[in-house]
Amino acid sequence: MPQDLQPLTSPASAPGRAASRRVDRWDEAKFHRVLDEVPAGAYVCDRDGRILYFNRRAVDIWGREPVLHDARDRFCGSFRLFTGDGTPLARDQCWAARALLEDRECNGIEVVIERPDGRRVTALAHANPIHDEDGALVGVVNILMDVTDRVRDDRTKSDFLASLGHELRSPLGPITNAVHILRSKPAPDAQSKWALDLIERQVEDLVGLIDLVSEVSRLTRDDPSVERAPYGVAALLAGAEERMRPLLARKGQTCSLRLPSAGATAFGDRPLLQRAIESLIQSASRLQRSGEAIELDVTVTASGWSVVTGPREGGEESSAPPERFESDGMRGHITRTALIFAERVAELHGGRLIVHVRRDESLVYELSLPLRPPSLP
């Protein structure tokens, strides 16, 4: 079974019969009038999945009118369905069928519908079971939000960013080579050395920004590849700290790693998680003065682990979302992009990123992750 078809529930409510849409009095005429006013495709199936009613927006999405009460049009008005990654989807595995057969909510799930004219429509399905006043399952209602244009724009943007990254990398290689050639010459004067150092730093920052933008673009696509393998939490953090040590040394900064006495093994994409930790260390470094110390304080519980990255001191803290950070020049853009990257990596592993604002307005990053992501058995 494709990964997209793992049972999903609404984040706003618990799964099961208590979370379903209850119909105390089955007034079909009023219910249908409500569906006609919904600014999206909407249809209702009975207990056996046969379509009882659909609105005109559903017809626009399907590209056809299904036959009411017909077993050949069970669960959906389209004969060709796909998951978000393009995997063919059988009708009895579509989200209306899943909501009905499993008696649970399936909200906000992407589905691709191929119309008879060959045009594909991307929609978000919101399928919910219907129960009568006695709690008996009587059918399902599915709302289809057409997001074709948004998905197309997102993919166009991703393609553009990938192409832009490739084009920007091309001239950076010769610039770096030129700097190395100039450094190999007899000792330059102080002003020339300052200029070479400046060029080298700017090129490094630009390469870092390109890499981050490319990675964020990849992770925001429909089906980013994320490994689910065991890794040691201590080894992961130590690896990130070691890789960042040369960068911190340029500013005379140090990074201390405080680990709990007990080791822990978690599951996830170790290279991706390590890059997320590195991006937070680098962000903390950019926001601190030369010579200041950065601290990685790790906490492990029975269900997860977290790392707090930032300066050692700074007073009391309050929390703010990552987007609070205001961009200020290239380094500001890099820091903001790094936070978006780390936040996305955390989300893909069932975790979260919180930015704490201290009394002295310094920022502390807290990345929290489960030991075993929810998608794992």
pLDDT digits (tens, 9 = 90+) for 168-189: 666 777 777 777 777 777 777 7
Instruction: Quote the pLDDT of residue 59.
Output: 93
CATH of the domain at 246: 3.30.565.10
Residues with Cβ within 8 Å of residue 78, at least 6 apart in sequence: 61, 62, 63, 64, 113, 114, 115
Query: Domain boundary residue among 171, 201, 221?
Result: 221
**Structural domain span for residue 258:** 225-377
If asked whether residues 189 and 203 sit together in one domain, one would say yes
CATH of the domain at 206: 1.10.287
pTM for the predicted model, two decimal places: 0.48
- Alpha carbon of residue 346 to chain centroid: 8
Instruction: Quote the pLDDT of residue 115.
Output: 92
If asked whether residues 206 and 256 sit together in one domain, one would say no
If asked whether residues 66 and 166 sit together in one domain, one would say no
If asked whether residues 175 and 115 sit together in one domain, one would say no
Q: Is 48 exposed, middle or buried (0-12, 13-18, 19+ CB in 10 A)?
A: exposed
CATH of the domain at 42: 3.30.450.20
If asked whether residues 116 and 204 sit together in one domain, one would say no
Q: Which residues of the chain have pLDDT under 70?
A: 1-29, 151-170, 205, 208-210, 212-214, 216-218, 220-225, 262, 311-335, 359-361, 375-377
If asked whether residues 202 and 250 sit together in one domain, one would say no
For residue 89, the cross-strand partners are: 81
Instruction: Quote the pLDDT of residue 316.
Output: 46
Query: Domain boundary residue among 166, 195, 221?
Result: 221
Per-residue pLDDT tens for 232-256? 999 999 998 888 888 788 778 888 8
Structural domains of the chain, count: 3
Closest CA to 94 of 103, 106, 85: 106
Instruction: Quote the pLDDT of residue 167.
Output: 62
If asked whether residues 293 and 317 sit together in one domain, one would say yes
- How distant, in Å, are the alpha carbons of 170, 183, 203, 211, 323 from that of 326? 29, 36, 22, 20, 8
If asked whether residues 237 and 341 sit together in one domain, one would say yes
Structure tokens at 64: 């056809």
Instruction: Quote the pLDDT of residue 62.
Output: 94
For residue 124, the cross-strand partners are: 110, 145
If asked whether residues 140 and 154 sit together in one domain, one would say no
Instruction: Quote the pLDDT of residue 45.
Output: 93
Query: Domain boundary residue among 221, 253, 272?
Result: 221
Quote the crossing angle between the two packed helices 190-219 and 329-348, to the nearest 10°: 30
If asked whether residues 366 and 233 sit together in one domain, one would say yes
If asked whether residues 180 and 140 sit together in one domain, one would say no
If asked whether residues 195 and 318 sit together in one domain, one would say no
